Each structure stands twice: as structure tokens, then as C-alpha cells.
Structure 1
Amino acid sequence: MTTKTQQQITPELRRWIVEQAQAGHSAESVLQSMLASGWQEEVAIEAMETSLRSHLEAKAVAEGLPPSVPVPDPRLDDSPLYVDGGDRRVHILQNMYNPRVVVFGNLLSDQECDELIALAKPRLARSLTVATKTGGEEINDDRTSSGMFFQRGENDIVRRIEARIARLVNWPEENGEGLQVLHYRPGAEYKPHYDYFDPKEPGTPTILKRGGQRVATLVMYLGEPEKGGGTTFPDVHLEVFPKRGHGVFFSYERPHPSTRTLHGGAPVLAGEKWIATKWLRERRFE
């Protein structure tokens, strides 16, 4: 990388940054040392981010973790209150980096929520989960909702929402699975789980042929229960309440618990919950 003053991030600089981190020096102290030595702040920050990211990735793989991959990610570096969804201004209500969780407000209109529910109702059936032993699908006692899938681009409303999602999280539409609508009655839940496919399971290679790993999830709330039904992240003690029209996005750069993306749908205690879920893959989903 070269700046206007031709400062370059050299291999020697990268090694020095890693050595400082290994010695226990804080990021702020390393940055101040670089600035005192004449490095431009923009270059110094980029050098630290890329050097430490590469170091941590190499260390993770050496310790047996799966390699990380690029993931969808909303552009929130300047802490915006709103982002452009193309046809809709979407609110940013919460932003977390570890795990990567973003809560969107005003993601769907009331009319869109109602239309998705109406289109889904005649096609609902007991929800299935991916059978990682075989690569197929199966009933799982941990998931007690009913649901259905739209084909990608199946109708006008699905196409509109898929385009909005792609713009918000900077990921190609064709890398998305079909939009799933789920209905939870009182007592229904989805116990904590991961959305990626476990590389150790025998059915995973078959699943990955359709578009690679899942790398992100977006849960959109179509209808509010009176009580319960939140999306929980047990590893970080976070619960996102199911507010109609809002959505919670989270990504996972490697299929491993280190992403801290264990999550679940808490039991509905009163009323009914409706959600739409969009899973995003590494590549085009076939």
C-alpha cells in the first residue's frame, strides 16, 4: 500500500508490529510509537490491522481452526444512524464486532411483513433442519416451528427484499439461499445452535456443493409475540427482541465456535412469532 508520501508497509514493519503484540504492548501504545516515528496515522492503522489479522489467522489455523473466509458485512465504519437499502432507509440500532452482530430497524414495512405472512401461510409445514450426517433434511426436536421456503426471486416482494439485503450487507444476491418464513406458536422455540455446517460431519461435503459454507444469517421479524421469542446469543449474553419490521444480522468467518455465533429462538410465551430468515453462502447458491 502506498500513500501520497510514498510510505510503504514493509515485511519488516509487519514483523515488528506482531512482535509488539506478542510482547503484550497495547494497540494504542504501538500506534503512538509509530506516529512518533513519523508514520502517517492512516498508514499506521492499516499496517496494524492487516498485520495483526494475518498473524491471528495463521495462529488460528496452526491451532487447528478452519481457515477464515470473506463474509458479508454492512459498511458501518463511520457509525451511521441510517444506511441506504436502495429503496428504503434502514436504521442501525446496534452494532457489535465480536461476534459480528448488527440490529437493523425499519428493515421491512408493515405491508411487506403482512404480505410475506399471507403468502407463506398456505405452504407451512413442520420445520426441518439440515441433516449433517447425510446432507439431507430431517425433523429436529430442538426446532418446533413451522415454515416454508420461497425460491430466490420467486415473486416481486421476495426480489425487492433480496435486493435490499444484498445492498445492506454487501453480498451478491445469488449467494443467498431462498427466503424462509417461520411461524412459532406459544411454547415453540429453536434451541441454541450454529448456522454453519460442521466440517467434521459426513454430510457436509454434499451440502457445500450447493454454494459453499453459510457465512451469515439475517433474521427479520414479521410479527411480534406478546411475550418471549427473542433471538438469543448465549456466549455473549445478548438477546434481540422480536420487534416487527426489525432484523438481526450476524456473520461467521469460519465454521467454528470461536465465532461466538451460538444463537437460538427463545420460547414464545404468549402470542405468535413470525420471522423471515435469509442465509448467505460463500458462493452462488444452486
Structure 2
Amino acid sequence: MDKIKNISEELKEWIIHTLQSGVSPLAICNGLIKKGFDPKFAYETLFEIVGNGSVTNINHAYQYEPIHISDQGNILHTSDREVYIRAKSIKPVIIQFENVLSDDECNLLIQLAKDRLQPSKVIDANSGAEKAAAGRTSKGMYFRLQENELIAKIERRIAEITNYPLVNGEGLQVLNYQIGEEYKGHYDFFPEKKVDPSKGGQRIATMLLYLNDVEAGGETIFPKTGQLIVPRRGSAVFFHYGNSLGEVDRLSLHSSIPVESGEKWVATKWIRQHNIYHGA
């Protein structure tokens, strides 16, 4: 059966009213999809509604602070590569990059990760332990920090781009999404009670690197801000969501929508407040 790709004015008014009552845009999107709406159409409809000023009370209290990348020009010179800023948002901090990885680096990362993939897990909000979750249907693996020459080179490059020490970064994670697989809306920061100061403290930023071009689907979306990022080999998106006051930016809610054709490969570097291996 064909998916629905149009929306009535009555339903649009209901969506606006529901958003104003505090319901998450992502929850409304998921509801529309379950009712038979085309996923991309549902997301784009919510983006349009949120972006046109119809909803006025979905903002939050978070104090934005200057970060290193925001002060740079559109070309960043690392020790081994020129990286280009394609788009930049300051509130919230979401920066899109091109030319972060070469084609050969992307292909090699995929090859090194393939035989080590395991079903992806999430952090339980109550216990802090990793667990399987229906909303995350990818497979993934972790490299140890500086596990080999390639990983060390990529980690140095990320440190130079973000201006955060290499030791503040968790081990690089590689994820693979097949057709229909997704990661529903989530935050990368830890629940407040599960932050461990002895292991670097809170996560404050993420660098998400795209390792292949996805034939269809697989976009990264920020449903509270209406931003959608198409995966392109060698590109990346950086988002920053933790400040020196211990606050977290809830506009950083994001998800990976289902892959419709082909597959999707990404690598993730999570950055903590402090040195992961020596606490604060």
C-alpha cells in the first residue's frame, strides 16, 4: 500500500496544538508513520511546522558558551588534511564538515570493522548499563583508542578539528545500518545520575563521520530544530551539547531514519569533559 504524502489543515492544526502542549516532535512523527504516512514526508512536515514559528514554547534553558570551531573560518587546516565547513548552527551547535576522511580511509574503516560487528546497545537511563533496545537496530563495534595507525591518525585529526584533547575521546565506534534499520530519537549525553567523574565525566560533544553514500534514507535528523543531514562519504557532523555549568542541550535530540535502499556506515567519536583515563 502506498504511503500517505499529504496532510490536511485540520491535522496540521492538531500537530501545532500537540507540539505546544509539550509533546516531542519525534513522538508525533513516529505516530504519523504508524498511521501510514511516508517517513520522510512526516519528518519534513514537522520540520516545516517547527521552523515557521507556529510553535513558541519548545525552547529550553541552556547557556551556550563559545567553542573553538565557531571562531574558525570555513577551512580548517589539520596536520595532514584540509577540512571544509559546509554549514554551521550556533544555537544549537551543529557543524557540518566535508573532506574529513578520504575515500581510502572510509573503505579501510569499513573493512576493519566488518568482522567485529555486534548488535548495537543503548545506555539504560536507570541502571547506566548497556542493553539491547528496539529503537536501535544497527550493528556496531568499538576500536580501542589509537588501536592502529589508521585509528590514531583519524583520532588526531578529530582532536585538531574540535580542539579537545585526544584522551577526552572515547574509542571510535563504527556502525552499520541495513535496509529498514534505524536509531530512534535519543541524546548522546548520559542521564545526570549516571555521569562518572572517574571516567571523564559527562559526554559534551559528538563527531559523526559518514563512511559511505547511502542510496536512499539513513539521514541524520535533529527533530527539535528541523535540521536534516544526508550521509555523504567522507563528510561529518559535529554537535556540542554540554557546557561548563553541567547543563545539557536538549535541542541535540537526534535520530537516524531508516535506510530505504543500500546500507549505511558511520563512525562515531564521543567527547567527554575530561581525560577519560584519569578522571578530572
Partner of 1:104: 97
The Cα of 1:259 is off from its aligned counterpart by 4.2
Structure 1 residue 77 corresponds to structure 2 residue 71: yes
1:113 to 98, 106, 111: 106
Taking the TM superposition and a 5 Å limit, the aligned residue runs for 1:1-286 are 73-77=67-71, 80-199=73-192, 201=193, 204-205=194-195, 207-254=196-243, 258-286=249-277
* Separation in 1, partners of 2:186, 2:141: 20
Amino acid of the structure 2 residue aligned with 1:114: N
RMSD value over aligned CA atoms?
Answer: 2.1
Q: Aligned pair in 2 of structure 1 residues 113, 170: CA closer, same or farther (>3 Å)?
A: same
**Any gaps of 5 or more consecutive residues in structure 1?**
1-63
- Are the equivalent residues in 1 in contact too, given 2:86–2:96 (CA < 8 A)? yes
Amino acid of the structure 1 residue aligned with 2:150: I
- Are the equivalent residues in 2 in contact too, given 1:253–1:259 (CA < 8 A)? no
- Are the equivalent residues in 1 in contact too, given 2:203–2:242 (CA < 8 A)? no
Aligned residue for 1:160, secondary structure, equals helix
**Any gaps of 5 or more consecutive residues in structure 2?**
1-59
- Are the equivalent residues in 1 in contact too, given 2:215–2:261 (CA < 8 A)? yes
* Separation in 2, partners of 1:75, 1:221: 19
* Separation in 1, partners of 2:71, 2:64: 20
Aligned residue for 1:151, secondary structure, equals coil
TM-score scaled by structure 2? 0.72
* Separation in 2, partners of 1:165, 1:90: 10
Aligned residue for 1:244, secondary structure, equals coil
* Separation in 2, partners of 1:237, 1:265: 14
* Separation in 2, partners of 1:246, 1:186: 21
Q: What number of residue pairs does the alignment pair up?
A: 216
Amino acid of the structure 2 residue aligned with 1:224: D
Q: Aligned pair in 2 of structure 1 residues 256, 270: CA closer, same or farther (>3 Å)?
A: farther
The Cα of 1:85 is off from its aligned counterpart by 2.0
* Separation in 2, partners of 1:70, 1:115: 36
Q: Aligned pair in 2 of structure 1 residues 256, 193: CA closer, same or farther (>3 Å)?
A: farther
The Cα of 1:210 is off from its aligned counterpart by 1.3
How many percent of aligned residue pairs carry the same amino acid?
41
* Separation in 2, partners of 1:257, 1:211: 16
* Separation in 2, partners of 1:88, 1:222: 17
- Are the equivalent residues in 2 in contact too, given 1:98–1:259 (CA < 8 A)? no
- Are the equivalent residues in 1 in contact too, given 2:122–2:133 (CA < 8 A)? yes
* Separation in 2, partners of 1:98, 1:249: 13
Amino acid of the structure 2 residue aligned with 1:248: V
* Separation in 2, partners of 1:70, 1:178: 26
Q: Aligned pair in 2 of structure 1 residues 92, 65: CA closer, same or farther (>3 Å)?
A: closer
The Cα of 1:224 is off from its aligned counterpart by 1.8
TM-score scaled by structure 1? 0.71
Q: Aligned pair in 2 of structure 1 residues 138, 70: CA closer, same or farther (>3 Å)?
A: farther
* Separation in 2, partners of 1:169, 1:231: 20
